[in-house]
Amino acid sequence: MIETASGALYTGITTDVARRLAEHAAGRGAKALRGRGPLRLVHHEAVGSRGEALRLEAWLKRLPATKKRAWLADRPKAGHPRHR
């Protein structure tokens, strides 16, 4: 999940987080993020299969921003033993 400079949250899936974030930052990613930087990676996690990742992405995209932020607050932070 990426946060834009204005605080909007963007959710997507990828097999290479660093590469995809660099593409978004360079303006070669999603149109929704172009010109909205700087971009900040606020969450990533390994999910399992592509199907599972797509289902989680769809579920998150349906949430209002307040619920997305609550979901993020409940996730382990990077470097925390539960974070994967």
Residue 84 domain flag: no
Per-residue pLDDT band for 84 (boundaries 50, 70, 90) equals very low
* 6 touches 19 (CB < 8 A): no
Residue 79 domain flag: no
Range of the domain at 52: 2-73
Beta bridge partners of 10: 2
Residue 81 domain flag: no
Rounded to 5, what percent of the chain is helix, strand, coil? 40, 5, 50
* 6 touches 38 (CB < 8 A): no
Residue 16 domain flag: yes
pLDDT digits (tens, 9 = 90+) for 35-66: 898 999 999 999 989 999 999 999 999 999 99
Tally of structural domains, the chain: 1
Q: Is 24 exposed, middle or buried (0-12, 13-18, 19+ CB in 10 A)?
A: buried
